[in-house]
Amino acid sequence: MFSPLINKIVESLILRVQGIDHEKCIKCVECVKICPLSLFYKPTTKVGEKRKIFFEDPHGNCNACELCIEICPTDAIIVNNNPEN
């Protein structure tokens, strides 16, 4: 059993997706298609309409497979252990 401080440090080192930088996102939908846990979604839209892509992981299920990070063409995926975020 680790101390709460050690647990906090370990937790901060585990990569977890936090969301999408909507300034960078070009709505290509690649993250929606590739996430094995379907944590990204695109709201239903009218034909031809390009809406924001959303990320939701209320139960912390992201398994840090990094597929979404690798496929995103604009580095729009926000992760918890990136000092720039």
Contacting positions for ligand SF4 (CB under 6 A): 17, 20, 25-31, 34-37, 39, 53, 62-68, 71-74, 76-77
**Beta strands 40-41; 17-20: pairing state:** unpaired
Amino acid in the structure at residue 22: H
Element (H, E) at 10: helix 4-13
Answer whether 16's CB lies under 8 Å from 62's CB.
yes
Closer CB to ligand SF4, 2 or 74, in the complex: 74
Closest approach, Cβ 6 to ligand SF4, in A, equals 24
The DSSP output letter for 19 is E
Closer CB to ligand SF4, 7 or 38, in the complex: 38
Closer CB to ligand SF4, 46 or 74, in the complex: 74
